């Protein structure tokens, strides 16, 4: 019988029990706790781990993941991925989600489960606060998010790191320590050590209540409906530029990309641009579109159809390459 089992939100449990689930696993404290908690709730899942070869114990963590999955009759997907140290965290995130999403597409998973917890959310909040951000950016990630072709679930998002470690200790659950999380060269680690962890140690209940209220307020700033066809997303354009940017933020995030302030400024100024050579963003007369960037050559008839449907030029090549009929759009 497990001691001090963290409570997951009912919506997450209901969703995960009827879906085919993939757990993003690292062999650290958070993912080992979540592995055990999901088992206790009777939720079926497989795991995926990435070995970046950055630490002496990376290979041991991968081996442990494979052995753990085998002992519980689960599939373990693994990838060895060496990256340049320049902008490592960003590149690692891109590689990580590309790997997870490939597994999801090829194996029919419905969800990706991650072990983000309240400390992660609060650290993000403080980082955005230090840079200058609006309400939606401050809140960051949610417990359940719609992504392109799957749902991203964070069952521990309202659980503190302190409670996770206590749960592991009480149940004698093994995990690996990543000492890079303590290195003060990274801004997030400095914020964690100096502000987030001490503050949550004393005021976790109040922070939880505040996030609940803020999320309720944030829903008033988000678009009512995002339409999707394959990898194309679009919303009805609003008179409020801020609401339009919130919608673009959401659509890009659903594609696994977080916009910078510089990119948001470029979008506002040009209203039709290519982000990071990957994502096309364009404001039409009535709608705002986001899709993968494409250089496909289009026949004259298709171009004319797009013109009459008032579809922006940077969006048209993707529609053609994805075999989307412009008349299908609302």
The predicted structure's pLDDT at residue 261: 85
For the cut 90, the answer to whether the pLDDT of residue 312 exceeds it is yes
User: How many CB atoms are located within 10 Å of the residue 17 CB?
Assistant: 12
Would you give the distance in Å from CA 237 to the centre of its chain? 25
Q: Where are the domains of the chain?
A: 10-210, 227-328
153-167, 198-212, 226-240: the lowest-pLDDT one: 226-240
The string of pLDDT tens digits covering residues 72-115 is 999 999 999 887 777 778 788 889 999 999 999 999 999 999 99
Q: What angle do CA 139, 143, 149 make, to 5 degrees?
A: 110
> What's the topology of domain 10-210?
Rossmann fold (3.40.50)
The string of pLDDT tens digits covering residues 162-221 is 999 999 999 999 999 988 777 777 888 999 999 999 999 999 999 999 999 998 888 777
- Collect contacts of 65-73 with beta carbons under 8 A, ≥24 apart: 65/25, 65/27, 68/35, 72/39
Q: From CA 115, how far away is CA 24, in angstroms rounded?
A: 8
CA 94, 95, 100, 104 torsion: positive or negative? positive
Percent of the chain at pLDDT above 90? 68
The predicted structure's pLDDT at residue 118: 97
For the cut 70, the answer to whether the pLDDT of residue 157 exceeds it is yes
Yes or no: say if 110 and 20 are a contact pair by the CB < 8 Å rule.
Answer: yes
The predicted structure's pLDDT at residue 241: 87
The predicted structure's pLDDT at residue 223: 59
256-279 average pLDDT score:
90
Yes or no: say if 283 and 237 are a contact pair by the CB < 8 Å rule.
Answer: yes
* DSSP 8-state secondary structure symbol assigned to residue 231: T
Percent of the chain at pLDDT above 70? 99
Q: From CA 218, how far away is CA 209, in angstroms rounded?
A: 14
The predicted structure's pLDDT at residue 306: 93
Q: How much is the pTM?
A: 0.80
Yes or no: say if 323 and 294 are a contact pair by the CB < 8 Å rule.
Answer: no
Q: How confident is the model at residue 222 (pLDDT cuts 50, 70, 90)?
A: low
- Which run of H or E residues covers position 88? helix 88-107
Residue showing tokens 């917890």? 117
The string of pLDDT tens digits covering residues 18-56 is 999 999 999 999 999 999 999 999 999 999 999 998 888
């Amino acid at each position: 019988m497990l001691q001090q089992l963290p409570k997951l939100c009912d919506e997450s449990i209901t969703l995960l029990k009827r879906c085919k689930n993939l757990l993003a696993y690292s062999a650290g404290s958070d993912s080992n706790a979540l592995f055990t908690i999901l088992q206790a709730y009777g939720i079926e899942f497989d795991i995926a781990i990435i070995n970046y070869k950055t630490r002496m114990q990376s290979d041991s963590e991968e081996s442990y993941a494979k052995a753990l999955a085998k002992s519980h009759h689960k599939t373990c997907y693994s990838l060895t991925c060496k990256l340049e140290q320049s902008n490592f965290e960003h590149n690692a995130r891109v590689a990580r989600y590309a790997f997870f999403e490939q597994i999801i597409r090829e194996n029919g998973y419905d969800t990706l489960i991650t072990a983000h917890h309240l400390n992660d959310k609060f650290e993000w909040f403080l980082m955005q606060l230090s840079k200058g951000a609006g309400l939606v950016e401050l809140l960051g990630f949610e417990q359940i998010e719609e992504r392109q072709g799957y749902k991203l679930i964070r069952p521990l998002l309202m659980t503190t790191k302190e409670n996770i470690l206590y749960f592991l200790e009480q149940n004698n659950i093994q995990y690996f320590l990543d000492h890079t999380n303590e290195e003060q060269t990274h801004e997030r680690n400095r914020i964690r050590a100096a502000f987030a962890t001490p503050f949550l140690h004393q005021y976790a209940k109040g922070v939880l209540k505040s996030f609940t209220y803020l999320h309720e307020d944030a829903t008033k700033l988000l678009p009512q409906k995002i339409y999707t066809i394959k990898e194309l997303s679009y919303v009805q354009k609003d008179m409020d530029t801020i609401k339009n940017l919130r919608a673009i933020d959401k659509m890009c995030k659903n594609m696994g990309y977080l916009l910078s302030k510089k990119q948001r400024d470029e979008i506002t100024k040009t209203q039709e641009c290519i982000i990071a050579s990957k994502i096309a963003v364009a404001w039409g007369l009535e709608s705002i579109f986001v899709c993968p960037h494409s250089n496909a050559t289009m026949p004259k008839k298709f171009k004319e159809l797009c013109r009459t449907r008032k579809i922006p030029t940077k969006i048209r090549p993707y529609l053609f390459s994805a075999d989307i009929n412009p008349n299908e759009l609302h």
